[in-house]
Structure 1
């Protein structure tokens, strides 16, 4: 049999991909790099950059296609087998013997600082192949939006496995042998027998249905190695069951032979209703009979926002209870609560203080940006300062911040002969890696080069900075200027086009889990992780702002979908807004990191300081962070826990401005007083400024917090509620003409062109 695997990134394939990419991109090849309007990027990896590995564990069918990274299953792509993966309600790991399968539900550990559902070393059992005791490797053979196919092959012996989020089923096809199940101890058999094709078993406290083809039989049921004799067929499936009732197994049997072959998400944004509708579709192929559709599970952020009638089955998971549905699709509808491109101007009473803080920010010494993340943080600081200076009438400061912002951004978005000739770090630019289908900032940071980590975190700051420039200078954002380069940054982290020749579809976003993943390779026993929810929301809001500034509704709507979906995931899994996820003894203020297999409360990958751990869910505070303010009681609960977790307030050093900003959600007067008393004594967190902190705290003190019960028929808006001052309605109009806006409570206003419009009602 012809070997179907590709063992290394062949030079001919890379050159073919490069040619296709050059022809597909709105760019031209230049001696200094690839031009995109006034911007450009390098087509080669810098000599000093951390190299990406050459090996990609994929099959021939996936050659010359953009490679998906940053997925829950990515370790299968990067390694010859895989680390543990978490397609809830299951956990799996690829090994030489086959696929090790585990159901974490019965074994969840709820400890003071963690909800742990990581995969046990031995799992529940291994699904292997009778013809092969040790496969040389497993490779990615296909994928869709939340499913993946893995291929095992050795000579004539093949096993293909398909599995994914939200499916209790794992599907197999075989060549040259039969399914072989290997147990640590003989499981309890409670349905079927040697002559039946379907078995119900309990192993390690979990219940499974084993579904051989009709007419198949079993051998070895009294031992620890069971074989399903396929009787001339090539398919097999396994389902983790919610209980061990025969009626439940028979319900699952109805769908066990309808193998899922594709999964696809689609979304729409209804501007009039301010709603995001997401549809999750399963395509199935019946191996027996004519039944279509499947049984699927839904996460809490899904079943709380769908009208799909659930079946009477539930699974415990590290994300909370999973509800079960039936069919080939389901839909969620979530409200979009709006964002603002900048914080509203401070009142007259605060203006002199704001001007002094802006002057302080203007005179701060240059610290430089050693890498792409440091540069991103500085861009974020300048992006916040520029509108504050404009709105405060500080024209000289505004020009200063705008020139710095534009100069720094253009430097990164341009690759020149000088960049090419530099031997060390003074140069800063982006380069494209054809083998891994990605654009990388150099000098890199956070493993964004060697493992493709956190591209959305870095790119989001760049895109938001570009959106701020475009807000004041639309020509700068044209394709003939720097708009083309910004669009490449967007496509690198979240291309909405499944046919994109340069980048994979939604690289970092997991449509089914409802949130993004940070690691490009996911080489952890706990799966992939997300430990910076605030910066993720910054990234998605940048798409909304860029789309509005450039009159690109597709990008704007993509941003609204990602922002709204991830916001609901954050509220459920990071902040426990409904108080249904964290157990009573969970002590941290909120989740520090979400992993595939656990929720961790007291540490990120870089810190165990309580304030720094929790600040990852806040920063950068901005006009797109108002969702954090929608429940002052939730913020009060988290702030109280934070102060209890700290040894003393010295733990807040370097973060004091952020702590005051979070305190202001529930205690605005106290936060404002504390800020004013201590501002001369501390430095703002990198990427922030005391002027920005003062604007945020003053906003909450004067206008109140977000009222999420009122929406508007425009994308850039906010509604505040204040216990004494009433409701304040704010709209930002990016267009050059007045826009009539209607709020869901009947309030109307005409939004002035290219600016903010406010209305306050008692």
Structure 2
């Protein structure tokens, strides 16, 4: 599939046409050449496979591997010092371009730490604090805002001329770059939320160089206060030292101490600035040497408690105080517990950042949820809506995957599509379709999670140098730049979670490989030695980053926040289905934290993030230094907004956290678009349903549209109709269970809880509601009452003598009849016989020159009545010898119907594609291999039921003959 832009920079959204370039090919080529990039494709070789349960991966190089500047391509740790941690190198971070050098092969791109930004160069570390945004584009539509790097100061060592900068250390949200020119060294520590940069130096004096006119507002020896470009800074030399000025350069002798620090101050007036000096002085001499976030999913309270800790180490001979100064992102400040930020704030691309002084740790308590496997069928379980939904399900029965490409992303999209079909079919009792879709999902997962010797496609390969697991074929830089692993692998994990519920043995067999995908994209285990901890998730910023290297002037970036949430929700469901609470809790932590961040930074729901002059209520992309109403792949408003909605699943109810914001965003889309959406309507209507159910329903009803590549009409119909009935999500009501949601609609409140385990659960909501949920089911109570779903771990053994519903139980007076044979035979007199009759023929009437594809016309009807038997989970099969003689253009078609209880009401119908006969005398065999034309209803146990076979001519003017006897069979799935 051709894409207009090579997405070597960020995630890969699902649209194969109408791409619009964001950079030109020539510009990209020049950038790559200047960076010294070389493409490395390893030669094909026999794969060294490593077994993991029933699955496996390869350790051989089977395709393109990460590449950057020549030194990085040869050795990923080329720009990492020997003193750095020996654990796998983090990627996809705000500082990744320090080590993963791509465009600048000596230093890095700007490092947007917030509140300050930094830029290394040969002479030291540049420092920027931009408070005036650059807003480009028109008033509405494609536009963007940035707080670009604009250097105020450079901090270094006199005479420093380092050939490059290397990474000397990192912690959860800090990094320590190091310069060394052979005579002088400089080591800095910088981080998210830290207004300080702490330095250790040898071989010279501390040096500060202002980029513009500097005004000195404090000069008392070791402390120097400067205002540069309207921004206030405090610099600290060792006690007893003194800063001296020479033009725009300030130096201080470090003696044997070798340390100094520089802090940017918040947005305050002169009096406020002076009042901050004591607190900042205490922090200046106690550099942060470690950061760590520890989280706890409090299931009983339905919230995630996260403690952000700072380790500080006073420099020798100083009176550094306890704790440090930290600025909080808005998503942290909104959920802060037990602390009161100081009055001043910093300007940032994420909104104002309040300040904590003297802080050793702070704690946030963030609501978790709502998450469900799928919204319940409260409106589509009966009546006309069910009939319509079943017709849509029939349309996708033959191919629930609809794969659009062989790579990890498009395979993942196909898995996501099929698992929605599984969930809906299960709710409606269409077990045959559910199980067929599960088989399709199982087949794809088995293939990808098993490596064969020499295999180069549909395989995962572990790269020990980079500490990563790459799926091949890769796409959108998931191999060469380590982009988007959380996007791609989230679909696999979500599909595995659904499959695990119905096939726990599969989860036991392949769970180790699923766990490796989790550990690669966002490893939850700090003791892991194969992958970095939380690769894609920025612990302090509260959201994922998509680019592996993040080496752009605007920093790292991410479009599809919703695909990141797909990963988080998948962890919750996989952990819950398999009993792995460590994975479940990691998913809850990412989900709760990122949901809070998305509401503010992608959707600006409280109106405090985007700067004045940026007239869009949402962004398509978040950048390190800002945001943009755009995507890497399209300028269409539908895709700019839709990329942060898909895939629509039960893990995406957070999209309706603010119904008014949902309505505003949709209205904005129609305004920018000049009318209703013309692409991705299903995605947009599905989110609109969370804010305006009636509006979404009216747009969907009677519409003609092309489903987004990961969607189906069946799922969109199911979602919009049921969400419209339920109402809007009430996020203020929490549950003591990870899979629960509350909706407020016109008829009142509905509580929904899902149970993907094999044990019954009781779910209690914070408003006092209690819901009993049997194993494997989803239950809705309140304004809407509904329950559905199958028991986890597969169906109950139908021959279990303790099962009161056992249809073969002779004590059950309602299920008397002949035991159903597994094979029936067409026979004379309209009979399906248990014993094969003598060889003969049955005549099928001609089609009369018309086409009767899918609709019986004067059919030959054959029945078996009064049958009792347990459904064994299998499929219908038939093998029918037919002959049209020498007639041309004839075809036979079959329909099999099941009336499970013999009450005259058909419960399951399967219509098969017609079989075109040849004009040569002699029989040909018509079988179920022809494939389903359509299907409806669901199979279950036979209780005095009827099985019917209808045969008719779909084409032709002459009769057809069906041969009877032992070779003519109808196989039915009953024991």
Q: Who is 2:40 aligned against?
A: none
1:410 aligns with 2:446: yes
**d(CA) in 2 for partners of 1:675, 1:713:** 35
**d(CA) in 2 for partners of 1:311, 1:589:** 29
Verify the 8 A CA contact 2:345 2:353 in the aligned structure 1: yes
Q: Who is 2:714 aligned against?
A: 691
1:198 to 223, 233, 256: 223
Alignment of 1:474-485 (within 5 A): 474-478=504-508, 481-485=509-513
1:348 to 382, 393, 405: 382
1:464 aligns with 2:490: no
Quote the offset at 1:151 in angstroms.
0.7
Verify the 8 A CA contact 1:189 1:202 in the aligned structure 2: yes
1:578 to 591, 606, 624: 606
Q: Who is 1:54 aligned against?
A: 74
- Listed one character per residue, the Cα deviations across residues 678-707 of structure 1 (whole Å, up to 9, x for unaligned) are 2xx332101111111111101112111211
Quote the offset at 1:656 in angstroms.
1.7
**d(CA) in 1 for partners of 2:132, 2:313:** 31
**d(CA) in 2 for partners of 1:366, 1:260:** 52
SS of 2:291's equivalent in the other structure is: strand
Verify the 8 A CA contact 2:381 2:428 in the aligned structure 1: no
**d(CA) in 2 for partners of 1:107, 1:409:** 46
Runs of 4+ off more than 6 Å: none
Q: Who is 1:27 aligned against?
A: none
TM-score, normalisation: structure 2? 0.71
More helix by share: 1
- Listed one character per residue, the Cα deviations across residues 313-364 of structure 1 (whole Å, up to 9, x for unaligned) are 2111111110000210100011113311123123313211111111112245
**d(CA) in 2 for partners of 1:64, 1:99:** 25
**d(CA) in 1 for partners of 2:115, 2:419:** 42
Alignment of 1:491-570 (within 5 A): 491-570=519-598
Alpha carbons of 1:98 and 1:431: their partners in 2 closer, same or farther (altered >3 Å)?
A: same
**d(CA) in 1 for partners of 2:219, 2:431:** 80
SS of 2:650's equivalent in the other structure is: coil
**d(CA) in 1 for partners of 2:455, 2:329:** 51
**d(CA) in 1 for partners of 2:184, 2:641:** 50
Quote the offset at 1:31 in angstroms.
6.6
Alpha carbons of 1:368 and 1:577: their partners in 2 closer, same or farther (altered >3 Å)?
A: closer
- Listed one character per residue, the Cα deviations across residues 27-62 of structure 1 (whole Å, up to 9, x for unaligned) are xxx975111011111101214567572233101123
Verify the 8 A CA contact 1:588 1:645 in the aligned structure 2: no
SS of 1:691's equivalent in the other structure is: helix
**d(CA) in 2 for partners of 1:569, 1:439:** 28
Quote the offset at 1:630 in angstroms.
2.8
Alignment of 1:427-466 (within 5 A): 427-466=457-496
Quote the offset at 1:106 in angstroms.
4.6
1:36 aligns with 2:52: yes
1:82 to 108, 119, 135: 108
Alpha carbons of 1:48 and 1:598: their partners in 2 closer, same or farther (altered >3 Å)?
A: closer
Alignment of 1:595-674 (within 5 A): 595-600=623-628, 602-649=629-676, 652-653=678-679, 655-674=680-699
Alignment of 1:286-435 (within 5 A): 286-287=314-315, 288-289=318-319, 291-307=321-337, 308-326=339-357, 327-345=359-377, 346-349=380-383, 350-363=385-398, 366-417=402-453, 420=454, 427-435=457-465
Q: Who is 1:705 aligned against?
A: 728
SS of 1:441's equivalent in the other structure is: strand
SS of 1:78's equivalent in the other structure is: coil
**d(CA) in 2 for partners of 1:368, 1:114:** 32
Verify the 8 A CA contact 2:211 2:228 in the aligned structure 1: no
Verify the 8 A CA contact 1:266 1:279 in the aligned structure 2: yes
**d(CA) in 2 for partners of 1:395, 1:444:** 34
Alpha carbons of 1:366 and 1:753: their partners in 2 closer, same or farther (altered >3 Å)?
A: closer
Verify the 8 A CA contact 2:152 2:212 in the aligned structure 1: no
Quote the offset at 1:96 in angstroms.
1.4
Quote the offset at 1:642 in angstroms.
0.7
Alpha carbons of 1:408 and 1:662: their partners in 2 closer, same or farther (altered >3 Å)?
A: same
Verify the 8 A CA contact 1:636 1:666 in the aligned structure 2: yes
Quote the offset at 1:290 in angstroms.
5.0
TM-score, normalisation: structure 1? 0.91
**d(CA) in 2 for partners of 1:672, 1:404:** 31
Quote the offset at 1:608 in angstroms.
1.4
Q: Who is 2:249 aligned against?
A: 225
- Listed one character per residue, the Cα deviations across residues 237-293 of structure 1 (whole Å, up to 9, x for unaligned) are 000012443332233112110100000000011111111100000000011125220
1:749 aligns with 2:796: no
1:283 aligns with 2:311: yes
Quote the offset at 1:588 in angstroms.
2.4
Verify the 8 A CA contact 1:49 1:444 in the aligned structure 2: no
**d(CA) in 2 for partners of 1:260, 1:218:** 23
Alpha carbons of 1:139 and 1:752: their partners in 2 closer, same or farther (altered >3 Å)?
A: same
Q: Who is 2:92 aligned against?
A: 70
**d(CA) in 2 for partners of 1:676, 1:85:** 49
**d(CA) in 2 for partners of 1:452, 1:641:** 34
Equivalent residue pairs, number: 713
Structure label with greater radius of gyration: 2
When structure 1 is superposed on structure 2, of 286-295 and 169-178 the one drifting more is 286-295
Verify the 8 A CA contact 2:371 2:739 in the aligned structure 1: yes
Verify the 8 A CA contact 1:535 1:620 in the aligned structure 2: yes
**d(CA) in 2 for partners of 1:587, 1:397:** 47
**d(CA) in 2 for partners of 1:145, 1:500:** 15
Q: Who is 1:734 aligned against?
A: 756
Alpha carbons of 1:88 and 1:482: their partners in 2 closer, same or farther (altered >3 Å)?
A: same
**d(CA) in 2 for partners of 1:583, 1:86:** 17
Verify the 8 A CA contact 1:626 1:705 in the aligned structure 2: no
Quote the offset at 1:627 in angstroms.
1.4
Verify the 8 A CA contact 2:369 2:591 in the aligned structure 1: no
**d(CA) in 1 for partners of 2:766, 2:675:** 45
Alpha carbons of 1:521 and 1:738: their partners in 2 closer, same or farther (altered >3 Å)?
A: same
Quote the offset at 1:390 in angstroms.
2.0
Q: Who is 1:119 aligned against?
A: 149
**d(CA) in 2 for partners of 1:669, 1:560:** 31
Quote the offset at 1:469 in angstroms.
0.3
Alpha carbons of 1:622 and 1:212: their partners in 2 closer, same or farther (altered >3 Å)?
A: same
SS of 2:616's equivalent in the other structure is: coil
- Listed one character per residue, the Cα deviations across residues 514-543 of structure 1 (whole Å, up to 9, x for unaligned) are 111111100100000111011111010000
1:176 aligns with 2:196: no
SS of 1:312's equivalent in the other structure is: strand
